[in-house]
Structure 1
Amino acid sequence: MGHPDIAGRRLSKDAYAKNFADLHPPLSAHEALVESDRCYFCYEAPCQEACPTSIDIPLFIRQIGAGNPQGAAETIFEQNILGGMCARVCPTETLCEEACVRETAEGKPVKIGLLQRYATDTLMRSGKQPFQRAAATGKKVAIVGAGPAGLACAHRLALHGHDVTIFEARKKSGGLNEYGIAAYKTVDGFAQAEVDFILGVGGIAIEHGKALGKQITLERLRQDYDAVFLGMGLQGVNALNSRHEDSDGVEDAVDYIAELRQAKDLGKLPVGRHVLVIGGGMTAIDIAVQSKLLGAEEVTILYRRGADQMKASDFEQELAQTKGVKIKHWVMPKKVLAWDGKAIGLECEYTVEKKGKLQGTGETFKLKADMIFKAIGQSFVPEPMKDAIVLDGGRIKVDASRRTSLPDVWAGGDCAAGGQDLTVAAVDDGRRAAEAINSFLSA
């Protein structure tokens, strides 16, 4: 980075540690008992209906209240083997907790996410492996991608006695849980601890540095394995299609977050004084807040529509603002302003929505910046498929069981069409696909 203003070590080591501490400190045993007592244990509970993995929430909360957090964790893991991470990163405020009867009645839901974390952390700390594999079937399944969908699929297949090999392009497993989530949401190496917990069931091997279309091909996997599951996520990053987009200081938010998550020393990360973030989703919030926590003086999110249309939840938007991030709505970037190959600002245009369509007003303004992050979404890279699989809207077309147009190939998570782009939804995809694959292999 050539900018004199783009440097690291803006804060003290203690300040970095404080800024990137756990966003939601875990409940103590006493706090968990008190919180569990608030649950009404509703019949046909709306919280369970709102959970993409259909965890029996009233049951696990009752188990916590009865002094059995490990039993509660088993109830959670039966439906969602990544329940520990989901307790940390799930937008509970728009899922189970929004549906909570106490939220409707009092505006204060039961803290379902924190109770789930308390239970899963208790079991994982114990070192106990709650699952036992069935007898080996002799069947082999290949999984592409060691993210939430791939790991969930692998665990359920291993439980059924099948041998699973996961091929992962990166050096570490976990997918977005390891590389794409804000550091303050998953501290103390939890993503890797969760991977180890999942692998503890046995029957799962992971080969790193193996990317589809490079070291492995779909054609060869179909020859060598009885079934294949694709869970490689989204590898492409959408472009601004703006002049000077390749200037120094213009960064992909996803890549920067990955670098931050793997950094041994946060003080060595370059951060601008005046940071602009383009986008309105979780990634935009994550990179904006983390830029502020790294020591940026001014951070502004630019979103082309209104607050209600941002993909980031109200909680996430409020979090950004309480951390000192500004959010400007109804603006879109026109072009990157650059000098001598370095970004110095952004020209923007005010927007308006007419008859459901977004359009510029013609009124423009300029914002100073020495660092600009693109957080405008990722895209599926179909080239490794070699036209072998039918796509839908730029992602892999799947049926209700997550089966693709190929009879022995399933897909789930962000790479599959119709997904919600949530960790918990990817886990559900992986589990559903695993059950379908098991039926296919047992036929």
Structure 2
Amino acid sequence: MTSNTLTPGIIAGRLPADQLSENFSDLHPPLDDHEALVAADRCYFCHDAPCATACPTDIDIPLFIRQIATGTPDAAAKTILSQNIMGGMCARVCPTETLCEQVCVRETAEGKPVEIGNLQRYATDTLMAADVHPFERAAATGKTIAVVGAGPAGLSCAHRLAMKGHAVTVFDARPKSGGLNEYGIASYKSVGGFAAKEVDWLLKIGGITVEHGKSLGAGLSLDRLKADHDAVFLAIGLAGVNALNVEGEAKDGVLDAVDFISDLRQAGDVASVEIGRDVVVIGGGMTAVDAAVQAKLLGALNVSLVYRRGRDRMNASPFEQDLAAAKGVRIITNASPKAVIGNGAVCEIEFEYTDDDLAPTGQMFRLAADQVFKAIGQTLGGDGLPDTEGGKIAVTGAGRTSMQSVWAGGDCASGGEDLTVTAVAEGRDAAEDIHAQLMG
């Protein structure tokens, strides 16, 4: 075991290796062939399928499920991937319970939807296991496009542009491609290095060059990119993290949840990741839930997730909230942090209860904490960017910014939800618009 000198309660290896392995196994184990056929048989193949309408990437869900039912999962995968080239990861992390599965006719009639997410994973995994890339590049156009950010939006845009015959260079600050998929989701949602495998598979289209260790302001200039390329697509995400802005925030043990999740994702052995005995996560979104659940899975004795509004206002879906509660996370709502207490390192954090309008009530309480994770939103970073709106790059149409020949999509752009599936759709649609503009 290793220990933190200022906060000895934060240690690695709280649980036996076999228990950690079980805790971080696949949240939704894949369907086998028989299970997939049984699941597909439940679909009504609706003509005006509400599930397809609810899908941000407009996948023809009844068609791909029928293709599975008729024993052609490869064809089903192509149906999926033609709309969502990262359909494999989206099948793992997409909140289907609030999108396609929520509006499934079976859900409405029986309270049990068709397992659309699991069936999508079955199809895409089958194709990827066969080491097949079902798309081919068009003839070279001679046009070059720079994509800044190798996350879901950037990679989706790059793939679609490469299919059209353009030459694409993707720049990313980190040593690995994948963005949120590689660094920002719970480890139990994507096991076995799937994020990296999906990127490798996607790049088989050809025509895409990836350069790591480069970002705007660190090796890249937007003006230079515009001068050297026919178009630029910004998919830079949200690199900054909002501060609590309370007394004592700088104390040891107060960390950003995104860094904790990233460290855990990149750890060769989860047993090497240090975790506290009493952990408090502040926030109400998916990042907050992922951090809280994984803290519990690592062996933290007490984990509390504290959100300033009611549970109905949390960005995390009801499924994610219930998952956290099932893993032993205590969810406290209508409470706002006021101070971090401790001598050099955090030992408690003080909160004040709020009403539904966030007005303080004067009622205070404290939680014991040797580790606090901040998950109260991220911020856009970078100089010389296009015009912004609400803290994000302002876009119109399919990602057009205020700058000529510059598009944007994903978390850094205004408009869509901060979901992997939405980012993929925005990258794809921007690529189509870029292609149309370049080809006249």
The alignment's TM-score, normalised by the length of structure 1, stands at: 0.98
2:37 aligned residue (23, 29, 33): 33
Residue 268 of structure 1: how far off its partner (Å): 1.5
Residue of structure 2 in register with 1:319 after alignment:
323
Residue 92 of structure 1: how far off its partner (Å): 0.1
Residue of structure 2 in register with 1:80 after alignment:
84
The answer to whether residue 290 in structure 2 is matched with residue 293 in structure 1 is: no
Cα offsets for 1:69-95 (capped at 9, x unmatched) = 000000000000000000000000000
CA distance in 1, matches of 2:390, 2:327: 36
SS in 2 for 1:358: coil
SS in 1 for 2:360: strand
SS in 2 for 1:110: coil
SS in 2 for 1:27: coil
Residue 307 of structure 1: how far off its partner (Å): 1.0
How much identity, in percent, do the aligned residues show?
62
Residue of structure 2 in register with 1:345 after alignment:
348
**Is there any run of 5+ residues in structure 1 with no aligned partner, and where?**
none
CA distance in 2, matches of 1:319, 1:351: 25
Map 1:126-145 → 2, pairs under 5 A: 126-145=130-149
1:151 aligned residue (152, 155, 171): 155
SS in 2 for 1:343: coil
Cα offsets for 1:355-400 (capped at 9, x unmatched) = xx3211011011111000101011111x32x2x5111111111111
Residue 270 of structure 1: how far off its partner (Å): 1.1
SS in 2 for 1:97: coil
Residue 407 of structure 1: how far off its partner (Å): 2.0
What is the one-letter code of the residue matched to 1:352? D
CA distance in 2, matches of 1:214, 1:127: 36
The answer to whether residue 54 in structure 2 is matched with residue 57 in structure 1 is: no
CA distance in 2, matches of 1:310, 1:393: 19
Cα offsets for 1:1-43 (capped at 9, x unmatched) = 3211111011111111110000000001000000100000001
CA distance in 2, matches of 1:29, 1:416: 40
Residue 297 of structure 1: how far off its partner (Å): 0.4
CA distance in 1, matches of 2:366, 2:162: 55
Map 1:355-434 → 2, pairs under 5 A: 357-381=357-381, 383-384=382-383, 386=384, 388-434=385-431
2:185 aligned residue (181, 184, 187): 181
What is the one-letter code of the residue matched to 1:26? P
CA distance in 2, matches of 1:164, 1:69: 30
Q: How many residues align?
A: 436
Residue of structure 1 in register with 2:74 after alignment:
70
What is the one-letter code of the residue matched to 1:273? R
Map 1:324-339 → 2, pairs under 5 A: 324-339=328-343
What is the one-letter code of the residue matched to 1:394? G
CA distance in 2, matches of 1:401, 1:96: 23
Residue of structure 1 in register with 2:101 after alignment:
97
SS in 1 for 2:219: coil
CA distance in 2, matches of 1:370, 1:391: 38
CA distance in 2, matches of 1:332, 1:397: 30
Map 1:197-236 → 2, pairs under 5 A: 197-236=201-240
What is the one-letter code of the residue matched to 2:230? D
CA distance in 1, matches of 2:214, 2:308: 38
2:91 touches 2:117 (CA, 8 Å); kept in 1?
A: yes
Cα offsets for 1:322-350 (capped at 9, x unmatched) = 111110111111111111x1000101101
Map 1:8-27 → 2, pairs under 5 A: 8-27=12-31
1:267 aligned residue (268, 271, 275): 271
Residue 200 of structure 1: how far off its partner (Å): 0.4
Residue 140 of structure 1: how far off its partner (Å): 0.4
SS in 2 for 1:18: helix
SS in 1 for 2:146: strand
The alignment's TM-score, normalised by the length of structure 2, stands at: 0.98
CA distance in 1, matches of 2:14, 2:427: 42
Residue 406 of structure 1: how far off its partner (Å): 1.2
Runs of 4+ in 1 over 2 A off after TM superposition: none
CA distance in 2, matches of 1:366, 1:435: 52
CA distance in 1, matches of 2:236, 2:47: 38
My pick for the range that moved more, 11-20 or 84-93, is 11-20
What is the one-letter code of the residue matched to 1:129? H
What is the one-letter code of the residue matched to 2:152? P
CA distance in 1, matches of 2:286, 2:78: 29
CA distance in 2, matches of 1:419, 1:213: 26
Residue 404 of structure 1: how far off its partner (Å): 0.5
1:196 aligned residue (184, 194, 200): 200
What is the one-letter code of the residue matched to 1:161? G
The answer to whether residue 248 in structure 2 is matched with residue 251 in structure 1 is: no
Residue 228 of structure 1: how far off its partner (Å): 0.2
1:118 aligned residue (97, 101, 122): 122
2:334 touches 2:358 (CA, 8 Å); kept in 1?
A: no
Cα offsets for 1:66-123 (capped at 9, x unmatched) = 0000000000000000000000000000000001011111110000000000000000
CA distance in 1, matches of 2:67, 2:109: 24
Residue 423 of structure 1: how far off its partner (Å): 0.2
What is the one-letter code of the residue matched to 2:196? Q
